[in-house]
Chain A
């Protein structure tokens, strides 16, 4: 129920943000589409905690910032490899990952694919099969796993380490 309310609020805000025209007739159309979409989603039974934007609270923007930095670094790394294709050493990496929620695994797999150099080939019950472009890309996976654990609120380790870096 709580997730449904979050979804409705999110959809309403999204519609208001994208529409930009606030006349009664148009607003009524928006309301109609909101009701229709919510009905379809409830019928399909696909509402879950991923529709709750506050599930990771303040940790999410920080994780995004870190992911953005990782994306920039790995992009430059892969761009360099494009000009030296003889330096790549593609490999398959199998990682056992255990997160609290299925959502953690999805975030892990998605972020892994989002950083060039690593692509999630398969998600299994116990872990992930990942294709990495070279050893350096494969090494970044351990850090990603730690960050997702931190995102789920299991540890405060990364936060402590970050604070240490900022002080230096």
Chain B
């Protein structure tokens, strides 16, 4: 009985993770410019990864494998933002102009700020 509940929970988490991955992919295609697409990519590297790892943890049970899975998640959550930031900064230095709403300040205003 308990096993069935854990299995169903794990399936739900895996499915949710997959769904967020697909939604992130759709967002990657639908958003207008480079910077907003980064946010869509953010879906796949946060909740998608979290759901899939926790789904797998439920499958693995309490073991060394679980610890390894959680470590993978930890490293992913530490490195993914760093990579995103590096890409965003590279785009800014390369003067990729973001599509912005009218009431927002321009990106150029902040370049070369000490």
Contacts and interface: CB of A to CB of B under 8 A. Distances in A.
B26 A119 contact: no
Interface stretch (A26-34, A108-116, A160-168): A108-116
Nearest to B100: A90
Interface in B38-95: 38-40, 42-43, 46-47, 50, 64, 67-68, 71, 77-78, 80-82, 84-85, 88-89, 92
Contacts of A111: 81
Contacts, number: 135
Given A121-B88, A121-B92, A110 B68 contact: no
Interface residues of A, number: 40
Contacts of B39: 78, 116-119, 133, 137
Interface residues of B, number: 46
B100 A114 contact: no
A75 B43 contact: yes
Contacts of A18: 67-68, 71
Interface of B: 20, 23-24, 26-27, 30-33, 35-36, 38-40, 42-43, 46-47, 50, 64, 67-68, 71, 77-78, 80-82, 84-85, 88-89, 92, 98-101, 103-107, 109-110, 113-114
